[in-house]
Amino acid sequence: MTRFRAAEDGTPLPVVADYYAQRAGAGLIITEGIWPSRAGQSGWRMPGLETAEHIKGWQAVTEAVHAAGGRIFAQLMHGGRQGHPLSRLTADIPAGPSSVPVPGPVHVRDGGKADPVTPRVMTPEDIQQAVRDHVSAARNAIDAGFDGVELHGANSYLIHQFLADNTNLRDDEYGRRTIEDRIRFPVEVVTAVANAIGAERTGLRLSPGNPQFGMEEANPGPVYRALVGALDGLGLAYLHLTDNADYPALTDLRAHWHGVLIANVGENREPTSRADGDAVLLTGRADLVSYGRAFIANPDLPRRFEMNSVLNTIDADHLYTHGATGYTDYPLLDARAGSQQHAEPV
- Considering only CA atoms, which of 190, 116, 110 is closest in space to residue 153? 190
- Rule CB under 6 A: which of 178-207 touch ligand FMN? 205
Nearest CA among 120, 126, 50, 52 for reference residue 85: 120
| Shortest Å distance, C-beta 99 to ligand FMN | 25
Residue numbers 31-50 binding ligand FMN by CB under 6 A: 32-33
Q: Under the criterion CB under 6 A, does residue 264 sit at the interface with ligand FMN? A: yes
* Cross-strand bridge partners of residue 148: 73
- Is residue 291 annotated as a catalytic residue, yes or no? no
Residue 252 within binding range of ligand FMN, rule CB under 6 A: no
Does 272 bind ligand FMN (CB under 6 A)? Our answer is yes
| Minimum distance from residue 342 beta carbon to ligand FMN (Å) | 21
Given the rule CB under 6 A, which of 88-96, 99-107, 214-222, 291-299 is the region that contacts ligand FMN? Answer: 291-299
Quick one: CA dihedral 190, 191, 192, 194, positive or negative?
A: positive
DSSP-derived letter for residue 48 is: B
CA distances from 301 to 121, 151, 188 (A): 43, 25, 36
C-alpha torsion sign, points 321, 323, 327, 330:
negative
Which one among 154, 206, 215, 231 touches ligand FMN, defined by CB under 6 A? 154
DSSP-derived secondary structure for 152-194:
EESTTSHHHHHHSTTT----STTSSSSHHHHTHHHHHHHHHHH
Nearer to ligand FMN, 2 or 129 (CB): 2
| Position among 198, 271, 302, 331 found at the interface with ligand FMN (CB under 6 A) | 271
**Least Å from the CB of residue 291 to ligand FMN:** 5
As a whole number of angstroms, the distance between CA 98 and CA 168 comes to 6
- Closer by beta carbon to ligand FMN, 1 or else 307: 1
Which residue is catalytic, options 19, 20, 157, 247?
157
CB of 171 to ligand FMN, least distance (A): 30
Indicate the residue among 35 and 174 with the shorter CB distance to ligand FMN: 35
Please state, as a whole number, how many other Cβ atoms lie within 10 Å of the Cβ of residue 7. 15
- Is 155 a residue that touches ligand FMN (CB under 6 A)? yes
Nearer to ligand FMN, 32 or 133 (CB): 32
In this structure, the chain runs to a length of: 346
Question: Are 238 and 151 within 8 A, CB to CB?
Answer: no
Residue 62 binds ligand FMN, judged by CB under 6 A: no
Cβ closer to ligand FMN: 229 or 292? 292
How far is 334 from 294, CA to CA, in rounded Å? 18
DSSP-derived letter for residue 37 is S
Residues forming contacts to ligand FMN in the complex (CB under 6 A) are 1-2, 32-33, 75, 152, 154-155, 205, 264, 266-267, 271-272, 291-294, 319
Residues with a catalytic annotation lie at 157
